[in-house]
Chains A and B, each alone.
Chain A
Amino acid sequence: MNKILIVDDSKTSRMFIKMCLEVAIPEIKAGTFYEAENGKEALALLNDNEAELVIMDLNMPLMDGSTLLRWMKDNDQLKNIPVIVITSTNNAAKRDELLQMGADHILSKPVSPAKLAPIVKAITQDTTDLDTYGA
């Protein structure tokens, strides 16, 4: 089962990301996503479920995105999952730091479908079955 995990403490932000992708990528259907409000929840989900891609915010309570990214890259089962960071703190210093930590793409908030969808499509396009099941 190929799922996309969205990690953001903002419900409206998570909804907007899902909307962007569902509109721009026809293969993505309801049920493709699961969601977490912080890094701690995300790790719990990743430990119990397979994910093809993680889209994460940085600034979150309990466990922020940087810590989640470090945990993922230190874990043999999670380190190869592509990570897209969508953040409001996006200058060159932060981008370099995130890339060195292993992030694959960094996008600035507010994210647009035109920027996010091609990246997600490129990552997922070699997996033609984006399995869906009810929530």
Chain B
Amino acid sequence: MMVKITPPDCIIEHYLREKTINAVIDTLENIAFMEIIPSKLVTPYDEALACLSAEILINTPFSGKLRLVLSKALVKQLVLNSYPSEGIEIREGQFVFEDINRNQIPEDTLEDSLREIVNIVTGRLMTDLIPDNQSYEIGLPEISADAFLGFEGASLCIEFFAEGHPFWLMLFGDGFINSPIINPKQ
């Protein structure tokens, strides 16, 4: 059953959605040179889809959380797009991109990359939302133990597509909607 997210009436929600989309698109297009397409709907989660989920807490000026859920296949593609395959050397035995088949990216590399992505997206979003003269603090990105796409309770959930793969970003916390610090510019 399709879950339809109707376009919000509230200006603040629309503003938040727009800023969130921009943060995701700018980050991933700059990192991985992928075209990112936001969807107005949220399709049902496929339990057979192997996913990775990363979260980061917003500590100040309000409490909140950002969660990013991507299929492992998409994370792998992001990693491969981000780093050239030629001329990569093994240094201190830590690099794997010399593998000819490029199929053996370790799980910890996928998780590390996803943590970085969620970190950058969150920083970009908060920079866009918070007035320039006010500081904000975010936590350390963490891989969620459960990659299940649970957006119940989310203030906002947006689905995107990258090279045909869906992925999801969720914002949790009333602060994203109710904080007086976030003032939509009209």
A positions within 8 Å CB-CB of B: 9-13, 15-16, 19, 30, 59-61, 87-94, 97, 108-110, 112, 135
Residues of A within 8 A of B120 (CB): 88, 109-110
Q: How far is the CA of A19 from the CA of B89 in the complex (A)?
A: 10
**Contact between chains at A110 and B30 (CB < 8 Å):** yes
Please count how many residues in chain B sit with their CB below 8 Å of the partner chain's CB atoms.
Answer: 34
Residues of B within 8 A of A10 (CB): 112, 115-116, 119
Shortest C-beta distance, A36 to chain B (Å), equals 14
**Contact between chains at B135 and A109 (CB < 8 Å):** no
Q: A16 and B82 in contact (CB under 8 A), knowing A89-B123, A89-B126? A: yes
Q: A12 and B113 in contact (CB under 8 A), knowing A59-B140, A91-B132? A: yes
13 further interface pairs, Cβ-Cβ under 8 Å (given A108-B123, A110-B27)? A10-B116, A16-B82, A19-B84, A60-B140, A91-B132, A91-B134, A91-B135, A91-B136, A93-B132, A94-B135, A109-B119, A109-B120, A109-B123
CB-contact partner of B112 in A11, A89, A97, under 8 A: A11
> Which residue from chain A places its CB closest to the CB of B109 in the assembled complex?
A12
**Contact between chains at A91 and B130 (CB < 8 Å):** yes
Residues of A within 8 A of B95 (CB): 15
> Which residue from chain A places its CB closest to the CB of B123 in the assembled complex?
A88
Q: A61 and B140 in contact (CB under 8 A), knowing A87-B123, A90-B123, A110-B27? A: yes
Q: How far is the CA of A107 from the CA of B134 in the complex (A)?
A: 18
Residues of B within 8 A of A94 (CB): 135
B69 CB–A CB distance under 8 Å:
no
Shortest C-beta distance, B133 to chain A (Å), equals 5
Residues of B within 8 A of A90 (CB): 123, 127
